[in-house]
Amino acid sequence: MPCTTMFPFANLAPLDPNFIPISDLNGISRRKRALNPDQLTLSEGSRIHMPLWSIEKWATLGFVTIGLPRHFGKKARERLEADPASADLSRTERFYSSGIALIHLIYRWSSAIAREMAKRNARGGAMQATIEQVLQESEELRRILVSTYAGDRLLRTFDWSMTSFNDDVSIYTRRLTDIELRLFRRGADAASAYNHWKNHGSRPIPVSSAILATKVFEPVRVVSPNPIEKSDEQGNIKRIRAN
């Protein structure tokens, strides 16, 4: 993701893609060149690209300003909004999870910058405009993530997972993200279980031995509510109950 440094960073000049170390042709050894602080300082306002996980601490401390990477940029969002179901997200395997993490980081970063500006009693018109722009783009990204995941793309994933039993679906699954692939496998497992039940039926469910040990299923003596009349040898009639 693109970042811009807010102040000089010592010994981090190699992070700058335009960094060119002093060559040995100048008569300076590698050891002396490595100890040169001027050559190894990442200057203020340098634009660098860093992984999301590595820049999180700097962003929340207000050391850098951040922006959206190219695959979350305006053109990418427009393509997704136009036809989300046909989009190939295989290159951004963690498209949804990284997008959610980025949105959360942007809100934490904007809060950190606002606190820092309040401490310095600085208006920061240019910085405020940058924050508002990044927040607006993050809201658009949030909307695109929801509409892409929960729209036609979700319906198509369900359709493929439930109707492609024992078929080769790699041509479709390789275009899915990690979250969509887990969802597809859940649906495929459910379809497989349904077909197994349909073909073989369900087996009897035995009573748990633990339940039997509690003597809950002891035979119950049923008493007839109506008495039965029976005569003895002398002809006397007795009223008894059936056990």
Please tell me what DSSP assigns to residue 42: B
Q: Which has more pLDDT, 62 or 222?
A: 62
| Mean pLDDT for the chain overall | 78
Alpha carbon distance, N-terminus to C-terminus of the chain? 83
Domain boundaries, the chain: 1-49, 68-150, 152-198
Q: What is the pLDDT of residues 148-175, one digit of tens each?
A: 888 888 888 888 888 877 778 888 888 8
* pTM exceeding the 0.75 threshold for the entire prediction: no
Residue 237 one-letter amino acid: I
pLDDT band per the 50, 70, 90 thresholds, residue 24? very low
Residue 142: the pLDDT is 92
Q: What is the pLDDT of residues 221-231, one digit of tens each?
A: 555 555 555 55
Q: How large is the angle between the packed helices 152-163 and 125-150, nearest 10 degrees? A: 30
Please tell me what DSSP assigns to residue 14: G
Instruction: Please give the Cα distance from 4 to 63 (Å, whole number).
Output: 9
Q: Which has more pLDDT, 124 or 133?
A: 133
User: 3-class SS at 230?
Assistant: strand
For residues 134 and 67, the answer to whether their CB atoms sit within 8 Å is yes
pLDDT band per the 50, 70, 90 thresholds, residue 104? very high
Mean pLDDT of 51-63: 88
Question: How many Cα neighbours within 13 Å face the side chain of 15?
Answer: 23
Residue 193: the pLDDT is 83
Mean pLDDT of 102-119: 86
For residues 1 and 102, the answer to whether their CB atoms sit within 8 Å is yes
